[in-house]
Amino acid sequence: MKNTLLLALMAVLTLSACSSSDDANNAAKDEVLYEIKDGRFTEWYPGKKQVKFEGEVDIKGNREGKWLFYSDKGHVLSFTFYDKGKKEGYSVVKHPNGRLHYHGEYHNDKMVGVWTSYDEKGNLKQEKDYGYPESE
């Protein structure tokens, strides 16, 4: 009899824990984590306490200007420039530890010029020259 009551109590506690966990997961799924307001796109990490991505958008919703990506702690991990939704200009990406990962330049959504990458300790890893497009 004691074993039956103990098993029943454990089953109720387990179901209760699963139910509250499911409620939390459903609330997180229903949370809207982005908005476009006054031509500015903002996306947050769950909980909406920290911005994840932000940047300007044109009337068609294309990325414009400087776009930033942040860690969940609020540190800038990358930025890239856009023109009419295409990567255009300088781009920098950092490792999660904050050290430079790679940087280079885009033209018409393609890598151009010399791109340089580094390991997580900041040591030069590679340089690759993508050249420049012919005059357009």
Residues 27-53 pLDDT 10s: 556 899 999 999 999 999 999 999 999
Query: Is the CB of residue 72 less than 8 Å from the CB of residue 50?
Result: yes
- Residues 87 and 97: their CA atoms lie apart, in Å, by 25
pTM: 0.75
Q: What's the chain's average pLDDT?
A: 85
How many other CB atoms are found less than 10 A from the CB of residue 82?
22
pLDDT at 29: 67
Residues 68-122 pLDDT 10s: 999 999 999 999 999 999 999 999 999 999 999 999 999 999 999 999 999 999 9
Residues 6+ apart with CB under 8 A from 41: 34, 35, 53, 54, 55, 56, 57, 63
CATH number of 33-129: 3.90.930.1
- Residues 69 and 77: their CA atoms lie apart, in Å, by 6
Which stretch of DSSP H or E encloses residue 13? helix 2-30
In a 10 Å sphere around its CB, with 0-12 CB exposed, 13-18 middle and 19+ buried, how is residue 88 labelled? Answer: buried
Q: Where are the domains of the chain?
A: 1-30, 33-129
